[in-house]
Amino acid sequence: MVKLCVGCSSPEELAQWIDYRLEQLKAAGEKPEQYHITRMVPKRIDELLYGGSLYWVMKGNILCRQKFLDIRPFTDDEGIHRCKLVLEPKIIPTIWQPRRAFQGWRYLDGSEAPEDDNTSEKARLPAALKQELADLGLL
């Protein structure tokens, strides 16, 4: 599954937000799990839960992914049906892949998914520098 990551412009920023959110949940006495709430419930839940990931689009590129742990449909306090996508908090960097803007989320065929970026963290270019190079057409 692929989704725009609104509010974060890099995998590092997303990781910081996740850490912050998990600490908030712990402090509130709630179960510290990382999740994203969406309105639509995926129909292909089995595929997503058995080896699937949520690929995050940031600044027009897929940059990272998180593995699915669970998918929980629920009804909120206002009676609106929603879905909690429970994700492994670990961010897995991927090879950059351009992606046009879209609303909501989309299924991503396994053959279309970018490979993981196995470059060591020390050798990996910072996201801001990669973005600048991509904007200049050099990546």
pLDDT at 137: 74
pLDDT confidence bin for 101, thresholds 50/70/90: confident
Q: Per-residue pLDDT averaged across 2-22, rounded?
A: 93
Structure tokens at 123: 């050798």
Each residue of 19-58: pLDDT tens digit? 999 999 999 999 999 999 999 899 999 999 998 999 999 9
Q: Mean of the per-residue pLDDT values for the chain?
A: 89
pLDDT at 123: 64
Whether the pLDDT of residue 93 is over 90: the answer is: yes
Each residue of 66-91: pLDDT tens digit? 999 999 999 999 999 999 999 999 99
Q: What is the pTM of this model?
A: 0.85
Give, in order, the Cα–Cα distances in Å from 41 to each of 71, 73, 82, 99, 117: 8, 6, 7, 22, 29
Which residues neighbour 135 within 8 Å (Cβ) at sequence distance 6 or greater? none
